[in-house]
Amino acid sequence: MEGKQKATEDKQNKKDEMIRNVNVYGNDDEVEEVGIQIPKKRKGPMDAFVAPIDVDFRPRAPTSNENKKALENIHGYIAEFFYKNNISFNYARSDSYSKMMQAIVQNNDPSTFKPPSYNDLRVKILKKKKKEETSNWVDNFKVHWETYGVTIMTDW
């Protein structure tokens, strides 16, 4: 049994040595490459619904300025929700508000998002939104200033 195993090992060693000593490409400069032709993959019915994956795609990390601008936009949308639905700013202090915001952030990067506080909703964002709305309203009348002149009266 042992002799048979040794003979098999010797045979394998000779074969390996022969493979190592073979120079497939020789000294010729011209090398003809022969390859196996792989048939084109036939698309199935689900392939129409699946987008190809771009292996080279690397998402770019947003800069701090972009993060800041995105955060301002998100806070603006949340504040607009409070204003347009006449929701009291006190709800920004409630546990359910913080739970809702945590649920929203769960799938995003929590380090970049902090929900607007009670004071932000009441003062900072409100002033900014009010200013934007007023300037948009005035812009509608600016078109007619050359024709009719300018008179702005307010009780503000």
DSSP secondary structure string for all residues of 85-139: TT--GGGGGSHHHHHHHHHHHTTS-GGG--PPPHHIIIIIHHHHHHHHHHHHHHH
Domain ranges of the chain: 64-133
Place of tokens 């546990």: 95
Q: What is the pTM of this model?
A: 0.46
**Burial environment of residue 31 by CB neighbours within 10 A (0 to 12, 13 to 18, 19 or more):** exposed
User: Are residues 91 and 97 in contact, defined by beta-carbon separation less than 8 angstroms?
Assistant: yes
User: Per-residue confidence of the chain (156 residues) as pLDDT tens digits?
Assistant: 677 788 888 888 887 776 666 544 445 555 555 556 666 666 666 666 666 666 666 666 667 777 778 778 888 888 888 888 898 888 888 888 888 888 777 766 666 677 888 888 888 888 888 898 889 988 888 888 888 888 777 776
Rounded CA-CA distance 14/134 in Å is: 91
Rounded CA-CA distance 108/113 in Å is: 8
How many beta carbons lie within 10 A of that of residue 71, not counting itself?
A: 14
